[in-house]
Structure 1
Amino acid sequence: MALLEIEILGAKVLRERAVPVETVTDETRRLIRDMFDTMYDAEGIGLAAPQVGISERVMVVDVTDEDGKHQVHALINPEIVEAASETDKATEGCLSIPGLEEDVTRPVRVVVEGLSPSAEPVRIEAGGLLARALQHEVDHLDGILFIDRLSPLKRGMLMRKWRKKRKGAAR
């Protein structure tokens, strides 16, 4: 088990589109195990490789949906191939922006395709919290943070508040 350092807002890797994984290797699978360990240690429900400083299209999620269904997924090169036109708003946070949460509007259902850790094709049809978590992590792989989904005014207010809080905590 290895805990990886979580990159915080301001790190360049969080704003770059991650590179596709060419070949799934033991190193890729080790990264996935370490990402799960890091996510659980930080009490998160999802983590993307750029959040641990690695610009690769790898992500993990572990959620229990509203219906009580437990869903654990590790995806390599995931892509959202379908998204519902219906949206809803729910509170999101991010391990890379600690202490900041805000309501974000997203499609209620998505279909995500990618590869499993064994390099097998995977197709996930998701709704609820799983759909939200998958979209949030795929956004990370595209260099998008949940705050980018907010209005410029709301984002500016939140960022000023977050920076002030971080500055105060550093003292």
Structure 2
Amino acid sequence: MTERQIRLFGDPVLRSVCDPVVLGSRGVTDLVDDLLETVAVPGRAGLAANQIGVSSRAFSYNVDGVIGYILNPVLAEVQGEPELVDEGCLSVPGFFFPRLRYPFARVTGVDLDGNPVELSGDGLMGQALQHETDHLDGHLYIEGLQPEVKREAMRAIRESPWY
């Protein structure tokens, strides 16, 4: 297992729709190991494969002390009225902006053995499930910001030392 470097805003891999994972294919186990190792760093709630440069439909999560992964996730359900929540992203380091998210989300997919996996939750877990599936569809959280907040976010990002 290896903690992998996080790709930052501006990297084209973050804007591409990720390919489905082919179970049993070479490297899938290593990808899952790397996702788990990289998300285990304190302060990280989730990590999509494209954030470590791999355009595969997989993500890991680290919420309330529970670390896991899912392959080929599909956002199956959201519930409630969208609420403004402060959201950040490992690919946009150092920033948090208010973003509308549904309070509950459910994702379905599989594990390495092809067994069905269902993840669901509210609060941080619900937010992470929506955020990570967005990544796998080539979307960054800043795209969903209110227009005036998005302008502020883009200005701040352009002025950041890592950009």
Q: Same fold (TM over 0.5)?
A: yes
In the alignment, what sits opposite 1:102?
97
Aligned to 1:67: none
* 1:148 counterpart = 2:148: no
In structure 2, the CA distance between the partners of 1:42 and 1:126, relative to structure 1 (3 Å rule), is closer
The amino acid that maps onto 1:142 is D
Deviations 1:88-109 (A, max 9, x none): 2211111101111111111111
Pairwise CA distance, 1:26: 6.2
Deviations 1:30-82 (A, max 9, x none): 21111121223374111000000100001000101xxxxx4333000000111
Give yes or no for contact 2:36–2:67 (8 Å, CA) kept in 1: no
Consecutive unaligned residues in structure 2, runs of 5 or more? none
Distance 1:26 1:99, change over 3 A: same
**Map of 2:110 onto structure 1:** 115
Q: Secondary structure at the match of 1:99?
A: strand
Q: Which amino acid in 2 is paired with 1:139? A: D
Query: TM-score if structure 2 supplies the norm length?
Result: 0.91
CA-atom RMSD, angstroms? 1.8
Q: Check 1:148–1:24 CA distance in 2 against 1; reply closer, same or farther (3 A cut).
A: farther
- Which amino acid counterpart does residue 4 of structure 1 have in structure 2? R
How many residues matched?
A: 163
Of the structure 1 ranges 96-105 and 153-162, higher mean CA displacement relative to structure 2 is found in 153-162
Unaligned runs of 5+ in 1: 65-69
Structure 1 stretches of at least 4 aligned residues deviating more than 3 Å after TM superposition:
none
Q: Residues of 2 paired with 1:141 and 1:17: CA distance?
A: 6
SS at match of 1:4: coil
Between stretches 55-64 and 88-97, larger displacement belongs to 88-97
For residues 118 and 39 of structure 2, what CA distance do their matches in structure 1 show?
23
Inter-CA distance 23–10: structure 2 relative to 1 (3 Å threshold): same
Percent identical among aligned pairs is 34
Query: 1:30: which partner in 2?
Result: 30
